[in-house]
Amino acid sequence: MRAVLQRVSSASVTVDGTVIGTIGPGLLILLGVATGDTAEDGAWLVQKIATLRIFGDAEGKMNLALAETGGGALVVSQFTLIASTRKGTRPSFNDAARPEAAVPLYEDFVRGLETRLGRPVATGRFGAAMAVSLVNDGPVTLVLDSRLRE
């Protein structure tokens, strides 16, 4: 699984003109599921995301994790994170998990993050055309890959 984390002042996702998920300060998490990903990959990402110290403390240093700040989380599925650009100029999405495999892993990830944070997590709609709006804070943007475990 790959996740792009963006520390935000606010973020929202809209489907068919209706806002279906919104948060104030916290993390916008774009999540891509690859063929062969497992629940273990999702659990690793949940743990890493909840405990990454990327929020400012009283002195403005990045010493606080999302779990400590009470900030929100908005998770949006994004299969394009799994794209390969090795050949040519058109991305290949062959490595992205099919929906029947990806949806349960996406849902497990969301539930795991809710459990770890102790609060609800806002989401987009898997497979829908979504408009994502955000105000990047910092900006702070990180990429995590469960297969690299960095």
Q: Provide the residue count of the chain.
A: 150
Catalytic sites, residue numbers: 78-80
Separation of alpha carbons 15 and 111, rounded Å: 21
Q: 3-class secondary structure for 74-138? A: EEEECHHHHCECCCCCCCECCCECCHHHHHHHHHHHHHHHHHHHCCCCEECCCCCCCEEEEEEEE
Are 74 and 121 contacting, i.e. CB atoms less than 8 angstroms apart? yes
